[in-house]
Amino acid sequence: MAQEALLPTTKVDLLIEPAGVEPRAAIAHSTSAPLAPYSHIRRFDYTGGVVNFTVPPGVTRINARCWGGGGAGAGRGGGGGFATGDIAVEPGETLRVVVDLGGSPDGGGGMSGLYSQRLGQPLLIAGGGGGSGSPRTPAGGHGGGTSGSNGQTRSVGGLAGTAARGASGSTGGAGSSITGYHGGGGGSTGQKGGPAIGLIGHHGGQVPIPGMGGGGGACYGGMTGGGAGYAGGGGGADCGTTKAAWYAGGGGGSSFVAGPGVTDGSTLAGNGSRAGGKDDPLYQSPVGDAAQHGQVVLQWTGFTLTAGGPPDVELVQGGPAGYPGVHVESSTALEPVSVTVALPPERGLLFGSQTLADYQLTVQNADADQTPYAGQLSGDGSALVFADVDLQLPGTSVMWVAVSAGHDAPQGASSLTFTVGGKPSPSTTVVVAPAITVSPGGDPVTAERGGSPRYPGVEVRNNGTQDIPLHTVTATLPADTGLRFGTPDNPDHQLTVMNADGNTTPYMGSISQDGQTLTFTDVDLDILNDGTLSVLWICVSASPDTPPGPTTVEFTVGGRTSASTAIEVI
């Protein structure tokens, strides 16, 4: 009897397995310890959609292990393929995680893998297995490897056709065919699976992300859809009459490990109905076996970032640079990262010194070897950016920059912010001390009421500042004491500055309306070097009604206030 007589032209007696038979089981979510040298692990199970994963701060490389979904039919569906590799990433970027998606809706195993949103390209893909949803249908092809395998076939009554082909690299496999009827072809990379051709309208699998892999081809009958992958496997067949029939399992999808930034990529094909990569130490049974969903596992190691440690960096207003920094520690080597160093706002700090800007970052490794990096200053001058910095790991490294405090920098503690590979940390504490110290200027003086003038004053010390600017100095008499500047017959509004060599310079001041304060502008304190001293004084006398006892004049020098030499009124 001719083949055509066994296939009615208006109706085919289809032996189609109901969609609810042997549904693929959900894998119970679990975790496990990461493998050395990794410190973190995350498993992604089937959810029915794409899941976003944000690369943690400080992470520049991720290890990925992907198992494609197994085809429908316990013991008969094709096992999913396995793909693994290390991926260079940028902290904060988004990886799109695909678990068991894109297989033919009628039993094809889905692809599992990763897609870089930043690069717009797939990174890794593990192919899914072909379906075999009926006990009478032979095995579906397993997922690849570079190529998925063909579905197996079985003929009843001499009816003959072709097998569903597994995908080959980026090219989708052809669907099973028999005269006038065809399973859908697997989608080549970037394409959905093809529809079945005949009296039924099954559709192929959709790619989960545009441009990521190929969908599994639709089956012609049963649950024999093709598996998705880098390219999809062709759809199988489960059809015929009671006297003659043709059965073909779906073809398997191919895998892919050559995405941008992927190193040490490798892939293992499934083995019949068993998933590939079952010997991997992170494999979780029964992931990827026939009728089971796939899985993606990510591992990574970041680094710890801490302040550079004691002692604090002590800066003097207008003084030389100090070197605040951070410690970086990791058990593994990491890819070069970007580093940003930001000054604290409104603290008057500068990169470098007052006279020489310094935009260099220094990285010192555990062996005390130092590597300098030149930075780019931000437009507002508040930050330095360094590209492609080798953190000199594994081990512990230290990095620092040079900063100084401006003459007007507020006193007190603050810190810089180092952002290393997207991870921020404060630097060593930076303490700003005053540029000068002002203190009483010598031994007490005795002032007789109505008597001759006296010369109370203050000492001014250079604490290490450079290029000291001219200062404003004020001298204020104590209230309601009857002290006066000079004498009634000879008012004296002069300030005298004597340097360490005994040289004196006079400055004339302006007196306030109430006669209590003298103000001197543009005063050269004449203390050029660290630790040098000068003495400042004025002339005062006690009126006849000045109360007897101790008193002082208040001096303010460059924002620093001190009482003068003690004055004993008698």
Which residues, 6 or more positions from 248, have their beta carbon under 8 angstroms from its beta carbon? 137, 138, 151, 152, 153, 154, 161, 162, 163, 164, 176, 183, 224, 236, 237, 238
State yes or no: pLDDT of 146 exceeds 50.
yes
Question: For the segment 482-537, what is each residue's pLDDT rounded down to a tens digit?
Answer: 999 999 999 999 999 999 999 999 999 999 999 999 999 999 999 999 999 999 99
SS3 state of residue 330? strand
Q: Where in the chain is the domain with CATH 2.60.40.680?
A: 436-569
- Mean pLDDT of the region 195-221: 90
If we measure between CA atoms, which residue out of 128, 106, 105, 110 comes closest to residue 239?
Answer: 106
Residue linked to tokens 């160093």: 341
Q: Number of C-alpha atoms within 13 angstroms, CB side, residue 47?
A: 12
Beta-ladder partners of 474: 519, 556
- Following DSSP, what letter does each residue of 86-146 receive, concatenated? EEE--TT-EEEEEEEESS-TTTPPPEEEEEETTTTEEEEEEPPPPP--STTS-PPPPPPSS
Report, in angstroms and rounded to the nearest whole number, the Rg of the chain calculated over CA atoms. 41
State yes or no: pLDDT of 7 exceeds 60.
no
Question: For the segment 411-434, what is each residue's pLDDT rounded down to a tens digit?
Answer: 999 999 999 988 999 999 999 999
Q: To the nearest whole percent, how much of the chain has pLDDT over 90?
A: 81
- The confidence band for 17, taking pLDDT boundaries of 50, 70 and 90, is very low
Residue linked to tokens 């944000």: 54
What do you get for the CA distance between the two ends of the chain, in Å? 142
Dihedral over alpha carbons 46, 47, 53, 56 (to 10 degrees): -70
pLDDT reported for residue 102: 98
Burial of 450 (0-12, 13-18, 19+ CB in 10 A): middle
State yes or no: pLDDT of 281 exceeds 90.
yes
* CB 134 within 8 Å of CB 107: no
Q: Number of C-alpha atoms within 13 angstroms, CB side, residue 75?
A: 4
Q: Which of 69-73, 213-217, 235-239, 372-376 has the lowest mean pLDDT?
A: 235-239
- The confidence band for 11, taking pLDDT boundaries of 50, 70 and 90, is very low
- The confidence band for 12, taking pLDDT boundaries of 50, 70 and 90, is very low
pLDDT reported for residue 200: 64
How far apart are alpha carbons 19 and 123 in whole angstroms? Answer: 33
- Mean pLDDT of the region 182-188: 96
Beta pairing, strands 403-405 & 445-447: unpaired
State yes or no: pLDDT of 164 exceeds 60.
yes
- The confidence band for 558, taking pLDDT boundaries of 50, 70 and 90, is confident
* CB 213 within 8 Å of CB 228: yes
pTM: 0.73
Q: Would you say the C-alpha torsion 269, 274, 277, 279 has a positive or negative sign?
A: negative
State yes or no: pLDDT of 18 exceeds 50.
no
Sheet containing strand 337-342, edge to edge, reads 376-377, 383-389, 337-342, 417-420, 423-426
pLDDT reported for residue 22: 41
Q: How far is CA 85 from CA 118, 213, 264, 306, in A?
A: 18, 17, 5, 30
Q: Which of 29-33, 179-183, 309-313, 561-565 has the lowest mean pLDDT?
A: 29-33
Question: For the segment 87-110, what is each residue's pLDDT rounded down to a tens digit?
Answer: 999 889 999 999 999 999 999 999
* CB 222 within 8 Å of CB 134: yes
Q: Where in the chain is the domain with CATH 2.60.40.740?
A: 304-433
pLDDT reported for residue 213: 97
pLDDT reported for residue 239: 87
pLDDT reported for residue 83: 98
SS3 state of residue 324? coil
SS3 state of residue 513? coil
The CATH topology of domain 436-569 is: Immunoglobulin-like (2.60.40)
pLDDT reported for residue 199: 64
Considering only the top CATH level, what class is 304-433?
mainly beta
* CB 166 within 8 Å of CB 253: yes
Which residues, 6 or more positions from 542, have their beta carbon under 8 angstroms from its beta carbon? 447, 448, 449, 450, 451, 482, 483, 569
Question: For the segment 232-258, what is each residue's pLDDT rounded down to a tens digit?
Answer: 999 999 988 878 999 999 999 999 999
- Mean pLDDT of the region 371-377: 97
- Following DSSP, what letter does each residue of 68-97 receive, concatenated? PPPPSSTTTSPPPPEEEEEEE--TT-EEEE
- The confidence band for 58, taking pLDDT boundaries of 50, 70 and 90, is confident
Q: Buried b vs exposed e over 109-131: b needs ≥16 C-beta within 10 Å?
A: bbbbbbbbeeeeebbbbbbbbbb
- The confidence band for 356, taking pLDDT boundaries of 50, 70 and 90, is very high
How far apart are alpha carbons 542 and 461 in whole angstroms? Answer: 29
Phi, psi of 453 (to 5 degrees): -70, 160
- Between 71 and 14, name the one with better pLDDT: 71
State yes or no: pLDDT of 449 exceeds 90.
yes
- In eight-state DSSP terms, residue 422 is T
Beta pairing, strands 430-433 & 313-316: parallel
- The confidence band for 2, taking pLDDT boundaries of 50, 70 and 90, is very low
Q: Which of 41-50, 308-317, 445-454 has the lowest mean pLDDT?
A: 308-317
Sheet containing strand 370-374, edge to edge, reads 304-307, 325-330, 395-400, 360-364, 370-374
Q: How far is CA 367 from CA 50, 160, 329, 541, in A?
A: 45, 73, 14, 67
* CB 151 within 8 Å of CB 164: yes
Q: How many CB atoms lie within 10 A of CB 490?
A: 9
- Mean pLDDT of the region 461-466: 93
pLDDT reported for residue 35: 93
pLDDT reported for residue 15: 36
- The confidence band for 21, taking pLDDT boundaries of 50, 70 and 90, is very low
Mean pLDDT of the chain, nearest integer: 92
- Mean pLDDT of the region 6-16: 31
